[in-house]
Amino acid sequence: MKLQEQSRGFQNRMTEQPSRVTSNVCFRARQRLAFGLAVALTLAPALCSAQQSAGVKGDHAPESSAAAFERLALEIGSVIGHSDFSRAGWGVKVVSLATDKVLFAHNPEKYFTPASNAKLFTAALALNNLGPDYKIETSLYSDRLPDASGTLDGDLTVYGRGDPDFRAGLHSGDYNAALEPLATVLANAGVRRITGDLIGDQSYFSGPPFGSGWEWEDFQWYYGAEVSALSINDNAVDLTVKPGPRLGAPARVQTGPSIGLITLMNRTTTVAAGGKRRISVYRPVGENIIYVSGTVPLGDSGFTGYVAIHDPGLFFVTMLREVLLRHGISVSGRTRTVDWKYREVTPLDRNRTKALGSVFSRPLSEIIKDTLKRSQNLYAQLLLLQVGAQLQMDKNQPDALETGGQRKSALGKLPAAPAEEAADRTTEQAGLEAMNTFLKAVTPAGSQVLEEGSGLTYRNEVSPESIINLLAYMRRHRFADVFRDSLPIAGVDGTLQSRMKGTAASGNLRAKTGTLSHVVTLSGYVTSAAGEPLVFSIMVNGAGSGSELTGREAVDKIAVLLASLSVHS
């Protein structure tokens, strides 16, 4: 999901030949009508079925019901046949959850780039495999226990397992507050001084720090942030640019939190009031240098952006070191990180390593709600990796599960070395293996191709039919309420907060949005005006800005039509 969709973000002249204009308008109107009629004809069997099953006595009621569905087909057809989408591809499917009847279908089995609709699959997988009460552990390890004076003679390792909850957003904007529980655990273990290094261990996940198919242009912004088993503040810093104190002075450029790992290259200039603000931000891949250039006028409100950081684990332990010092715990050695490649040749010694304590995330149900409501790419990819890591652990440690499939507590436990045949497989690949296994019970094989968990790549391909099957399956799932309640609500919250207000969909429709350049998708649940529960998937690829109708406006228009449907199938 790109900038315009997430909770953080950057936010025709008439011709002089009226007769030709009139002719063109009429021609376009005929085109749209013909397209709508063609769609309606393809729905004839479904419409007849709806008419026959209306179950209302009298000569006119069945005709009225059929007419309503014909009108729905024509209205949807006029939207997807609009001239602004003449080069776009549409896939739409609408099914009644009450009768299983298909109310509308257009290219339901074709592949489309789903954008963040891919998160529906990831969230369903995590709920199914881990359960809503599952919590993610972050542990503190050392090779020995502290002595009577509180001295820990050696290194302290912070071992992460992908908890996304170390963030200011859960603590009223306090960047360091999420790390306080780790400091408390260490203090309770009697540690007052660490003679060795403070090590951030990110090795729980194997593979590159980006999802497959993510594009390098996205890496500098929060929505393409590096994925790490030790994540902090969404693996991004807040960047603010405000006018300087006088004309010609550099603008004031700051990051939050202010941390020595970031190097700011300020190449900005303050210009006269009324001038234009032009800000350019560049952070090279694999570096923590942020170049800021451009102009900011006096009196301007300034610019705020959210820049991804390189090596999140190093930021994690660097900030933790400051928090420990405030708790009276000093660290004499360096602050550094290790990853999966390091651990391949220097594994943690399971026999010598001592567990000093752990902290746990919120329940998975809350993390999934954040993931879907905010359309958070980092969290979605972390969920996929979490499932993949558990699959690897189950294969390497058969005793990880008790009778009945309940997971044993991971407190104080370290993962086993990967099996030889899986040593070259990334955690993402393991997660996708688990995804394919899960989807065998949900939708026919081949109806989707997923390469990562967030939807940020254009290489994901999904059919509307596959999404319909997933949503219908999750409606019957034992965790159906958790899944449904995690979706944004039209006109109320999440990425749908400002959409479809004042319509029949507002407060009613629950759906996952999806947005990439030239891609708009929306899939979820809605109750029609007749009280019928519907499941739908609407996808448009190749949508430009549109002179009359944008892709988002068109998708919302179809969704409102479904919410306004006044007859039952």
Please report how many Cα atoms fall inside a 13 Å half-sphere around the Cα of residue 62, on the Cβ side: 13
State whether 186 and 69 are in the same domain.
no
> Is residue 121 domain-shared with residue 180, that is, in the same domain?
no
Q: Are residues 106 and 249 in the same domain?
A: no
Q: Domain for residue 327, yes or no?
A: yes
Q: How far is CA 143 from CA 185, 350, 505, in A?
A: 17, 10, 58
Q: Which of 361, 388, 415 is the last residue of a domain?
A: 361
pLDDT computed for residue 186 by the predictor: 98
Please report the pLDDT score of residue 453 as a whole number: 98
Question: Within this chain, do residues 207 and 89 fall inside the same structural domain, yes or no?
Answer: no
Does residue 87 lie within any of the structural domains?
A: yes
pLDDT (0 to 100) of residue 544: 81
Of 361, 377, 400, the last residue of a domain is: 361
What CATH code is carried by the domain that includes residue 491? 3.40.710.10
- Quick one: pLDDT at residue 66? 86
Domain that holds residue 559: 18-126+426-564
Same-domain check for residues 197 and 118: no
User: Do 435 and 559 fall within a single domain?
Assistant: yes
DSSP 83: G
> What is the domain-level CATH number for residue 349?
3.50.80.20
The token pair that represents 70 in the structure block? 């014909």
Give the CA radius of gyration of the chain.
Answer: 27
Tokens of 44: 């004839």
Task: Give the chain's domain count.
Answer: 2
Q: Is 413 part of a structural domain of the chain?
A: no
For residue 407, tell me if it sits in a domain: no
What pLDDT score was predicted for residue 393? 85
Q: Give the domain-ending residue among 361, 387, 405.
A: 361
Same domain? For 265 and 145 the reply is: yes
- Cis peptide preceding 257, ω within 30 of 0: yes
Structural domain includes residue 244: yes
Are 461 and 433 members of one domain?
yes
Alpha helices (H) along 199-301: none
Provide the pairing of β-strand 193-194 with 330-331: parallel
Domain identity same for 356 and 240: yes
Q: Which of 243, 202, 218 is nearest to 339 (CA)?
A: 202
pLDDT at 44: 41
Tens digit of each residue's pLDDT, the chain (569 residues): 444 444 443 333 333 333 333 333 333 444 444 444 454 444 444 444 444 444 444 444 444 788 999 999 999 999 999 999 999 999 999 999 999 999 999 999 999 999 999 999 999 999 999 999 999 999 999 999 999 999 999 999 999 999 999 999 999 999 999 999 999 999 999 999 999 999 999 999 999 999 999 999 999 999 999 999 999 999 999 999 999 999 999 999 999 999 999 999 999 999 999 999 999 999 999 999 999 999 999 999 999 999 999 999 999 999 999 999 999 999 999 999 999 999 999 999 988 999 999 999 999 999 999 999 999 999 999 999 999 999 998 876 644 433 333 344 444 456 655 544 455 789 999 999 999 999 999 999 999 999 999 999 999 999 999 999 999 999 999 999 999 999 999 999 999 999 999 999 999 999 999 999 999 999 999 999 999 999 999 999 999 877 889 999 999 999 999 999 999 98
State how far the Cα of 235 lies from the Cα of 143, in Å rounded to an integer. 29
Same domain, 85 and 213: no
239 close to 307: Cβ distance less than 8 angstroms? yes
Same domain, 141 and 252: yes
353 within some domain: yes
Do 268 and 163 share a domain, yes or no? yes
In a domain, 122, yes or no: yes
Question: Cα–Cα distance between 393 and 544 in angstroms, integer?
Answer: 45
Is residue 368 included in any domain, yes or no? no
